[in-house]
Amino acid sequence: MQAGSVRKVAWLPWTVCLILATALALVHAGPALSLQQASDDATADVTLTWTPTPPESISPTATPDPSITPTETPEESLTPEETATATATPDGTWTVTPTPEATTDPDATPTEEPPTATPTPDLSATLTATLDPSISPSPTEEPTITPTETPTPTATPRSAALPLVWRQVRRLLNGGLESGEFVPGWQIGGNLPAAVVRSERHSGVFAARLGNPNFDSAGGCPTGSASIGQVIDVPATLRSTLHFWYCIYSYDTIDFDYFAVTITRGDSGETRSVWLDGRTDWSPQLWSSGWQHGTVSLDAYSGQAVTVRFYNVLSNEDGWYNTWTLLDDVSVNMP
């Protein structure tokens, strides 16, 4: 056996013992150790690899407080230990340099503070009122109620809405016949002639003549009438009076021939004779009344439409004795 081989055999047991001792120490500390031999050469390095086993996570257990909501405490993170390396020197000495393992400080203060319990107010408190005997309650006076008379509503008169009939108010027209004819206004009626004349008049230039002075009084006179008339509206709020002027010429008495005025109501058609005049005594000479002023009140016809008509009448059937009448200045006056 060579000298080098003897030396290897001589320090090999010591090396093994040292490794075993180191391994036992490391096993007692918790890590696992593995040994690798690179070669049979005495000068070769022997590498020891140490792999620590991470300890189990430790979770602190908190005692539950009924008034505090438990909060989960985060686990502490452990840093894995570094690998320790054992190196053999030429003189047979092994040097093992382990990396310090991470330690957990049980007295370490957690980063998050436990939640602070908020006291819940007790709403079941009872209020107790204490009466002060020195205070006497004052009686409450009842208000005096004075009856108020309810006014009786008074009906306010209101005007009734009546339908309006728009028409022109008809007034008496062309009363003096100064137009030289019967229009406007007058309507001719009867079977005897009527004309506007200049020969005789009460005023102005013209007058109306009812009848014909040329009839033969010795049996040549027809019976009948000549008339002119107008429709007028009698005012409802004012007193009205019909005025007219007339002149009668006659050979006969009023029993047979005469001048008359009638008014016919527009609503009922009733006709009334409001004026009558003529000769009262007979003679063979012609009789004239001269110009007479006639007036008729229209109060009985207030607010109505009426027809005013003037007549000259011949009623002697034997045809004897003629009569005619002049008419002028007809009007309706309102005081």
CATH number of the domain within which 313 lies: 2.60.120.200
The SS3 call for residue 24 is: helix
Amino acid at 221: C
pTM over 0.85: no
Tokens of 89: 């020197």
CA angle 47, 52, 53 (to 5 degrees): 145
- pLDDT tens, N- to C-terminus, the chain (335 residues): 444 444 454 556 666 767 777 767 665 554 443 434 433 443 444 444 445 555 454 444 444 454 545 445 444 444 444 444 545 554 545 555 555 554 445 454 545 555 555 555 454 444 444 545 555 555 555 555 565 666 666 666 554 444 444 557 899 999 999 999 999 999 999 999 999 999 899 999 999 999 999 999 999 999 999 999 999 999 998 899 999 999 999 999 999 999 999 999 998 999 999 999 999 999 999 999 999 999 999 999 999 999 999 999 999 999 999 999 999 999 998 76
Reduced to 3 states, what is the DSSP secondary structure of residue 201?
coil
Which pLDDT score, from 0 to 100, does residue 169 have? 82
Tell me if 290 is assigned to some domain: yes
User: Which pLDDT score, from 0 to 100, does residue 274 have?
Assistant: 97
Q: Does residue 69 sit within a domain? A: no
> Which of 100, 133, 161 is where one domain is finished?
100
Residue 28 belongs to a domain? yes
Would residue 196 count as lying in a domain?
yes
Amino acid at 29: A
Question: Based on the structure, what is the number of domains in the chain?
Answer: 2
Residue 197 and residue 312 in one domain: yes
Do 327 and 194 share a domain, yes or no? yes
Q: Confirm whether 254 is domain-assigned.
A: yes
Give SS3 for 100.
Answer: coil
Q: What is the DSSP letter of 218?
A: B
Q: Judge whether 62 lies within some domain.
A: no
Q: What is the pLDDT of residue 185?
A: 95
Using only C-alpha atoms, what is the Rg of the chain?
78
What pLDDT, on a 0 to 100 scale, did the predictor assign at position 229?
98
Q: Which of 37, 68, 100 is the last residue of a domain?
A: 100
Task: Give the structural domain span for 23.
Answer: 1-53+83-100
Phi, psi of 97 (to 5 degrees): -115, 95
Q: Per the domain annotation, does 3 fall within a domain?
A: yes
Which among 99, 58, 290, 326 is positioned nearest to 212, based on CA atoms? Answer: 326
Question: Tell me, what's the pLDDT at 151?
Answer: 63
Q: Is the backbone peptide bond immediately before 184 cis, with ω within 30 degrees of 0?
A: yes
* pLDDT on residue 202: 97
Residues 197 and 311 in one domain: yes
Question: Is 120 among the domain residues?
Answer: no
